[in-house]
Structure formats: C-alpha cells, structure tokens
Structure 1
Amino acid sequence: MTIEIRSLELHCKLRHGSYIGGGAYGAGYMSVSDEEIFLPGDEIWVYDLEGGTWQVFHMTGEVPSSMSGSCSCFLNDHLYIFGGCDDNGQTNQIYCVDLTDGKYVWRKIEPKSGSAPSPRDKLSCWLYNERLIYFGGYGRKLLTDINSRSRNFIADEASWVSDAFWGWNNEVHVFDPTEVTWNEPETHGRAPAPRAAHAGATLGCKGYVCGGRVRETRTSDIHCLDLESWTWSEITPLSTPPVGRSWHTLTAVSDTSMFLFGGLSVNCKPMSDGWLFDVETKKWTELEHPFKNKPRLWHSACAAKDADVVVFGGSCDYILLVDSGHCNDAIVFQTQPYPLFRICQDYIAKNVRHSENLRRQLPLLPHKLLKSLQKRISFYRSSKKHLR
C-alpha cells in the first residue's frame, strides 16, 4: 500500500520526545553546543494543521520542571502530563493545562485519594471512560516495595543503590480527573512482560501495547487490555510483523486499525518504516512511502482529520549520541483515501498559483469556504518554500 507523505521544515525549537495533544507541542530534550539539555516547560507551540503555521505561547502557573520521557494525553480540552525524567531522576507528578482558554496556566494536581504510581518515564497512556490509564515504564522502586514473587517489576541490576532499584514494570494505574483519584485495578490474564519505550493506542474499550524495550531486547509483540473487564490477551499476528523496536509510535486511525511508525531496532538502528495493523484480521501491512531517509525515534504522533497522522520531533540518530540528530520537521502520513471534498480542496490549493482561471473564481466562493481554502493555499506555499 502506498501513502502520500508531506515533509515540512518548520520554524520552531528543536525538541526531542515532545508532548503532543490536539496539535500542541511543548517541552522535551535537545542538543545545544554538544550538550544535552531539558527544554523549559513554560512555553507551548501550537501547529495549525490547515495553514501549516506555528505559534508559541508563554505558560504560567505551577510550571513543571524541565523533563523528557513524560507521558502526555489530551482529554476534555486539557493536556495532562505524568512522570518523566529531569536532572534529579524520574518523577511521579501529574500536571494539566487548559489548551482552549488562551491563558495556558499549568496546574499541579494533588490527588484526593489513592497513591500515585512510583516515579517513572517512558510509559504509555490510554484514554477511556473519561479516565487516564497508564501502563509500564522505567523508574525507581524502593526495595521495600519490590516483591520477589511479583511479575510486575524487573529490576535493572546495574542500577542498584542502597535502598532502591531502577527497572521496568507492567503495572496499570488509573487516574480519574473528575474525582481526582488514583487507583490500581486488579488485572486478569497474562500481562505483557515489564517494558518501557513501548507504544500504545486505544480502540473502543481496549488498550493496545506494541513492542518496547524488555530488559536487553526490543520486541514487536502486541497485547490488548479490555478496559472494562481488565483482562489481558496477547494477539498473534497472521502476517509477518515489523521487526522489534522501541521509541516508536502507535496511533489509532480507525475503529479497527492503528498506524506504527519508526523507532529504534534491536541492533540500535533508527527506523523509518510505517505499518498498519488491523485488529480484526490480525494482519500487519507495510506502507510504502518516499521518505525512507527520514528515520525517527523518540518522536510524537497524533491523529488529524481524514485519518492523517502527524509525526513531529524526535531524533534521527541513536538516542545516546550527542550530535545534530534532533529533528524539528513534521511529517504528515495519509493512511486512508481522502474524501472528495479534501481532494478538491487540496487540488485547488496546489494549483491556484499556476491557474489564472482559479484565481478569478476564488472570490466567488462562500466566505467560510474561501477562508478554509486560503489556509490550505498558505500550507502548500509554506511547504514548497521550506523544501527548496
């Protein structure tokens, strides 16, 4: 299957492991003068998917410390971030900001009941029934909290300190923003092996986990958690799956399919392949595209209209290298055929510059349609300018 992909060189700060939600990006990790630094959490960049333009906004309130590896999600007009790693290690704090009121005020959330998960980063999140459901990650646990018979935590033996271990977990924790509570549901079935830097997506009442780092290896296995019965099941693909990887993304693009892109392979190779997985047929389909020279890992992805997937930021090199591998371009994947209106709109936007007849007729369009079309014209003019 072949898809269209557009690459835009965008004017914004380079960011690594960026937050993404409803078209908004903020904070992260980058290289400056051969040094790795955490970007501040007091700014947010908003990308207009129609016009192809960026805006930056200053943020106030209880601003989170500069971090990377946080888990972000977008629910009811609010961006939530949980966990992450800064100069002092992993955290288990949760923050939110309203992205629609134009004020961009951070608020640190103190739960009314329940205990937050242990500090961690490189985890994933599902959204279901107005709740945030977190899975896995890598982080610190006190020795007193580690049960030798538990399968929920694998210690990274090289990380031991006097009273704690760092390691991988497969725990499920639920945060309810309405009740402001944490709880840890009891799950059934065989859970995935503890992991981090995996990818997750929600389809209906089910949360999916794909790949990630499991101890010293990277996988491409798929597991599903029923978010009503809390029952785990592993999915055995009926076609050849992608190679094992971590630091990739998995994005729901329909009621039955998810799009996987990029990541870091078992032999530490940055990946640029894209795949669709159909949960009904249990088959992987690789999508051919012309930008195999744009590998990405530790990037962000979100679904846009018409089943587009927008990939932003991350790195094109192995994450432990301090170099110029950080990326600030957005890549838009077309994962499904466009509706006729979108096809017509894009055709006009691409060709109006070269057609006097189209330029004469544009002012005759209804105001709302003309305004939308002008945004698309600006989008394609911008993409051509930055691809020169």
Structure 2
Amino acid sequence: MTSASCSRSELDTKNCPGPRAAHSCDIIDGRLYLFGGWNGKRALNDLHVLDVASGTWSEAVVDSRLVVHGGHDGNKWVADMHILETSPPAPTAPHEGLVWHKAPTSGTPPSARACHTLTRLAHKLYMFGGYDGAKCFNDMDIIDLETMTWMQPNLSGTLPQARNAHTMTVISTKLYLFGGHSGNKHLTDLHIFDTQKLHWSQPDILGTPPPGLRGHTANLIGHKIFLFGGYDGKGRTNELYILDTAEAKWVRPTWPTESPHTPPGRQRHSASLIGSKRIYIFGGFDGNKWLNDLHVLDVGRLEESALNDVAVHTLIENMGKLLRSGEFSDIIFVVEGKRIYAHKAILIAQCEHFRAMFAGGRFAESREAEIEIPQWSHVAFSAMLEWLYTGHAPRELSAEHLTEVLGLADHYTLDGLKHVCENVLMHSVEIDNVCALLRHSDQYMAQELKRYCLAFILKNFDQVAYTTAFDELSSMPSLLLEVTRAAATKDTVPRNVGCSSGSSPGM
C-alpha cells in the first residue's frame, strides 16, 4: 500500500469563535464563513468570518435566523431553509454585503431532520439522509436553485442504508457517499450516486477501508478524497484516510497521530479546502470538551514526499529486520526466560532512559552482556522495542498486554508510545474492564485514559457498580474517592456529540 506524508500545523488566529461542534463552514471568495453549531449547552446562530490572509476572525452581525436547511435548534427538529446572500466585501466594511433571507420554495420539501448532507452540483442541491429524533433517512431530495423547486425523483440501483452524520463528496457528475450511523451501528460502506442517471451503485474498492465513522469530514483534492476524524462508537479519531477514486483503492498515508502538530481526535468538526492544497480544520468535540482550535493540513507536497516515503519505509523495514535477526547485537535482554537481542546505539538514540543506563559506565547494566527484565512480559517488552526500532504502534495486542506496554512507556518515559497506547486502550473500554483500566491509568499517570474511564464509569454506573473489578477499587481508596466525587457531579460530564438514535444534535 502506498503512503504519503503531509505537512500540518495549528494556526493562531485573532478573535477566534467560541468552542463548538456540528457547525457549518464554507468558502466564499477566499474567506471561511462559519455558522452555528452546538457548544454543549445551547444551539448557536452566530456567523464568523476568517480572513485567511491575515488570520483574523470577525463576527458578522446578522438576523437570528438559521442559515442551512434543517437541523436542530436545541428544542426541536426543523425543516426551514435560509440563504445567506453575499456581495464583494468592502475593505472598510467587510460584512456590509451580507444579507439573510428565508428561501421561498415550491414542491414537496423534505421533512425536519439534522445530520443530513446538502451537496451542491451545478444548479441543484442534493439532500441525503439525516435523523429526526426517531429514525434515519435514505431518501434523496433535490432542489433546483434556479426555480427553487423541491423534487423527489424515482431512483434506480440499490439505495444505501438509511443513515446520518455521513459525508458526500462531488466528483464530476457523481456523489460519493461514505460512512455515517444507521441509528444502530457505524457504517463503513461506500456508495456512488450518478446525478445524470439518478442511479445508486456500490463499487469494489481495493485496500482497507476506514472503520465505521460518523461526524468525520471529506475533502476532494484532485481525484482523491481525504477523510479526517470522526467517531466509531468508542473513541474520536485523528486518523487520515484517502480514497483514490482513479485507482479505486483506499490509501493509508503517513500520518503521525502522536505528533504534537497533529490535531487531537474529534468529531463533528469542519474541514474546508482553501485553494488546491490546504485543508482548514476547525472545532468539533473530542469526547470531553468542545473545541475552537484551527489546524491546517498542507497536502501540496504529497507527490514530492513520495520518494522520501519509500526511503523511510525501507529504513523502517531494515530496522525491524535488525531487531528480529539479532545481527550485530551488543546487549541481550532476558524476559520470561527468553533472550531478546538488541543494539545499545539504537536504544541510546531513541530513549533517554537507555542513554542513562548504558552511557558513561555509571550503572552496572552498562557493563553487563545480559540484563534480566523481571517485571514485564516478553510480548510487551518486545512490542516496546519494536516501537523504538520502527515506530510501529502495538495495535494488535490484547488489552492486557497493551496495558503492560503502557506501563513500560511510563517507566522508560516514552511519551509518544504512551499516547498511542492510551488512544488504543480507549477503544477497548467495556463494562467489565473499565475499572481495571482506570487503576492502570492512575498507576501509570495516563491522564487521557483516566479521564475517559471516569466518564465511561459515570455514564454506565448502574452496570459498572456491580462488577467484581469495581469491588476491587476498595484497595485503592484515593481512586475510589475520585469516582465517588465524580459520581456526585456527573451531570457535568459532557455527552457524546452527533446524531444517532435517542440523542439530540448536541449529544
């Protein structure tokens, strides 16, 4: 599978809008127009404009009406449609030309709903899916922008499953639908709607697709669709996936999720393409709080980076072979009676703990040919060394072994590995293991995992309280006290963002 590296950064902007998710963000004349959303307490109807060149946000004072078709106003599902008219802004009054008006339409309008897509192609808007508090939809409603007439044409092919919080991407005269939530499960299917034939099809795609996601974003650059973020039912991701529509295959790019420059995992954010190279990612919900950070993904150097990726891939492959073969080894670790052959120079270069251990001859280990490792399992210690040699995250391990790797990362102060372990373990949290993971996260000072486990316990307290693992928390009074205090104020714990069965758009 091919890969590509991407440049990414977080932008510091002036007068940034407040935190929110489930907002809209569009490009008009090189400016980002951000409207509405949900901030955990109420539905928003403010409009903010980002001047990309200066990095300055400004708030446009407009009516208190909605800007998009449908949605949820904090109390009810709505089906109205409003249009923001813009004219070229004057330098001294950049928002003087902004005018709202309610769109007069004819025909049969769609029913009230939220978390649908409204996709423009030529002079028509194609509306698909959504959720109205009781059910999801898979109908296609089309409005002709010249006559402002709603239509519900007869469609051919196999209709996609009803869903909400999916993405729809325009390529030529076709719409590419991916993911979303059916009301019962997260979906990972891909469908294509031919707007000329009014026909649905499901293509065969090579490679490994992303997991079932909702609240993710999709941007088209050339013939590639870039998917970012989303929620898979267990955690918010910051993974990047690419669908190469010309090759009909999924591509997993080089994307260091543990890098401090990479946006944290989130859902219901916005991602807008500026020009042909830069994707602006704003806001969303990370599982604990609503965000108002702005990040830029620069994909303009993908082709240039391809050769570098080949070189890096070869280097990583060779490092892995060196670890597994034991060639030129000058140190042996004995773990559970098994020998692991390693190389001091690599360990010193990758880990300050090993540098202190081997360099300078201050510690006895620097003079030993073999070092006994009594506390950890062979599987976990090998996974840690694999990370040091290749950077490969130990994602295929059991939760028990991965928890050990988390402990090793804490012991050897490997912050990147620690962050990866926390992210993977958050996806494995269940009723029966959450208390054990809470204990380990406290023991190994894994604060992200600890916050997630506490929130999970409070959300499912009636079930967790009757598990054997919960009783075992009595051996850790300070931790049990934290759970008790959090339970007393559990109404402050943020709820999930996104539309699904039984939840509001702010949940």
Give, in whole Å, the separation in 2 of the partners of 1:88 and 1:328: 24
Residue of 288, 292, 303 corresponding to 1:328 = 292
Match of 2:65 in 1: 64
Q: Does the Cα contact within 8 Å between 1:273 and 1:292 map onto a contact in 2?
A: no
Say if 2:232 is the partner of 1:265. yes
Cα 1:15–1:100, aligned 2, differ >3 Å: closer, same or farther?
Answer: farther
What is the CA distance between 1:286 and its match in structure 2? Answer: 2.0
| Within-5 A mapping of 1:92-131 | 92-101=79-88, 102-111=96-105, 113-131=106-124
What is the CA distance between 1:293 and its match in structure 2? Answer: 5.8
Q: Does the Cα contact within 8 Å between 1:16 and 1:327 map onto a contact in 2?
A: yes
Match of 1:133 in 2: 126
Residues 264-312 of structure 1 show CA distances to partners (whole Å, capped at 9, x for unaligned) of: 013x210100111111211111231434561110111111113321111
Q: Give SS of 1:219's match.
A: coil
What is the CA distance between 1:337 and its match in structure 2? Answer: 2.3
Cα 1:220–1:9, aligned 2, differ >3 Å: closer, same or farther?
Answer: farther
**Structure (1/2) with the larger strand percentage:** 1
Residues 87-130 of structure 1 show CA distances to partners (whole Å, capped at 9, x for unaligned) of: 3321111100123353322111121x211101110001221121
Give, in whole Å, the separation in 2 of the partners of 1:273 and 1:262: 6
Give, in whole Å, the separation in 1 of the partners of 2:244 and 2:302: 19
Q: Give SS of 1:82's match.
A: coil
| Within-5 A mapping of 1:61-210 | 63-64=64-65, 81-101=68-88, 102-111=96-105, 113-139=106-132, 166-210=134-178
Give the aligned length. 284
Match of 1:44 in 2: 47
Q: Give SS of 1:96's match.
A: strand
Q: Does the Cα contact within 8 Å between 1:208 and 1:223 map onto a contact in 2?
A: yes
* Structure 2 residue identity aligned to 1:208: Y
Give, in whole Å, the separation in 1 of the partners of 2:5 and 2:262: 13
Q: Does the Cα contact within 8 Å between 1:84 and 1:122 map onto a contact in 2?
A: yes
Q: Does the Cα contact within 8 Å between 1:306 and 1:338 map onto a contact in 2?
A: no
Give, in whole Å, the separation in 1 of the partners of 2:291 and 2:75: 25
If the length of structure 2 is used for normalisation, what is the TM-score?
Answer: 0.54
* Structure 1 residue identity aligned to 2:251: T
Say if 2:248 is the partner of 1:278. no
User: Structure 1 regions of 5+ residues with no counterpart?
Assistant: 66-79, 141-165, 318-322, 341-388
Match of 1:235 in 2: 203
Cα 1:292–1:338, aligned 2, differ >3 Å: closer, same or farther?
Answer: closer
Residue of 265, 282, 304 corresponding to 1:295 = 265
Identity of aligned residues (%): 25
Give, in whole Å, the separation in 2 of the partners of 1:176 and 1:313: 32
Say if 2:35 is the partner of 1:26. yes
What is the CA distance between 1:244 and its match in structure 2? Answer: 1.0
Q: Relative contact order (alpha carbons < 8 A, sep ≥ 6): 1 or 2 greater?
A: 1
Match of 1:314 in 2: 284
Cα 1:335–1:293, aligned 2, differ >3 Å: closer, same or farther?
Answer: closer
Residue of 13, 17, 22 corresponding to 1:12 = 17
Residues 239-273 of structure 1 show CA distances to partners (whole Å, capped at 9, x for unaligned) of: 0111111110111112x21110000013x210100
Cα 1:292–1:7, aligned 2, differ >3 Å: closer, same or farther?
Answer: closer
Give, in whole Å, the separation in 2 of the partners of 1:38 and 1:129: 31
What is the CA distance between 1:202 and its match in structure 2? Answer: 0.6
| Within-5 A mapping of 1:209-220 | 209-220=177-188
Q: Does the Cα contact within 8 Å between 1:302 and 1:311 map onto a contact in 2?
A: yes
Match of 2:416 in 1: none
What is the CA distance between 1:85 and its match in structure 2? Answer: 0.6
**Structure (1/2) with the larger helix percentage:** 2
Cα 1:81–1:243, aligned 2, differ >3 Å: closer, same or farther?
Answer: same
* Structure 2 residue identity aligned to 1:137: G
Q: Supply the RMSD in Å over aligned alpha carbons.
A: 1.9
Give, in whole Å, the separation in 1 of the partners of 2:183 and 2:18: 33
Match of 1:305 in 2: 275
Residues 59-92 of structure 1 show CA distances to partners (whole Å, capped at 9, x for unaligned) of: 13xx325xxxxxxxxxxxxxx6111012332111
Which of the pair has more CA radius of gyration? 2
